[in-house]
Amino acid sequence: MARWEPGARDRLVLAAVDLFADQGYDATTVAQIAERAGVTKSTFFRHFPDKRELLVAGQETLCRLLVEGITEAPETATPLEAVAAGLERASNAMGPMNRELAPRLKAAIAASTELQERDTLKSVGLANAMTEALLARGVPDPLAHLAAELGVLAFKRGYTTWTAPSNANTDLAPHVLTALEDLRTATASLS
């Protein structure tokens, strides 16, 4: 097995998602994931504390990008415009690997209660990161929470649209921003 070979983290994520989708989360071991990725178990544990954490492998980066986009939005930006800036920054970082992984990841999550719970916690983490960034901009608490939750929903909806076979040669950002605009329009009709 190769040691310290570049891309080990990505290979571990791909191997895990494939194994989770093929044989189920519970039946998949760390040893199997490491073997499929072509690394040792100790290399696995250098990247992840356990197999649950593979699902949220990019969450820290995603949160950072969302926060940077919100923070760097113009001072005059509304809360949703700031969220849009964060979503655009994060979406532009998503590439072919994310798109390729989506259907297998969706299947693995659907088949495992534990992964569904972890996926929900990921959404909570993204919303919290955006809420904190909005609060730091001076957005009032309830409005910051609402804008962040709409941002998470827009990201999920846009991601789902992006991963459809008919959108194979498109970027994620336009889908996410369209979803956010659709949600903004829908919330206007709530009152």
Q: 165 and 139 in one domain?
A: yes
Position 70 in a domain: yes
Position 40 in a domain: yes
**Mean of the per-residue pLDDT values for the chain?**
90
Position 1 in a domain: no
Name the helix (H) or strand (E) containing 56. none
Q: 115 and 42 in one domain?
A: no
Contacts with 74 (C-beta within 8 Å, 6 or more apart), sequence order? 81
Q: 73 and 36 in one domain?
A: no
* Structural domain span for residue 26: 8-54
| Listed range (3-12, 65-74, 144-153) with the worst mean pLDDT | 3-12
Q: Give this prediction's pTM.
A: 0.84
Rounded to an integer, the average pLDDT of 138-157 is: 97
Q: 50 and 62 in one domain?
A: no
Q: 66 and 107 in one domain?
A: yes
CA distance 155 to 126: 10
Q: 123 and 31 in one domain?
A: no
Q: 125 and 90 in one domain?
A: yes
Residue 7 pLDDT level (bands cut at 50, 70, 90): confident
Report the candidate in 141, 121, 122, 123 with the shortest Cα–Cα distance to residue 131: 141
CATH number of residue 27's parent domain: 1.10.10.60
Residue 1 has pLDDT above 70, yes or no: no
Please state the φ and ψ torsions of residue 4, each to the nearest 5 degrees: 60, 25
- Domains identified in the chain, total number: 2
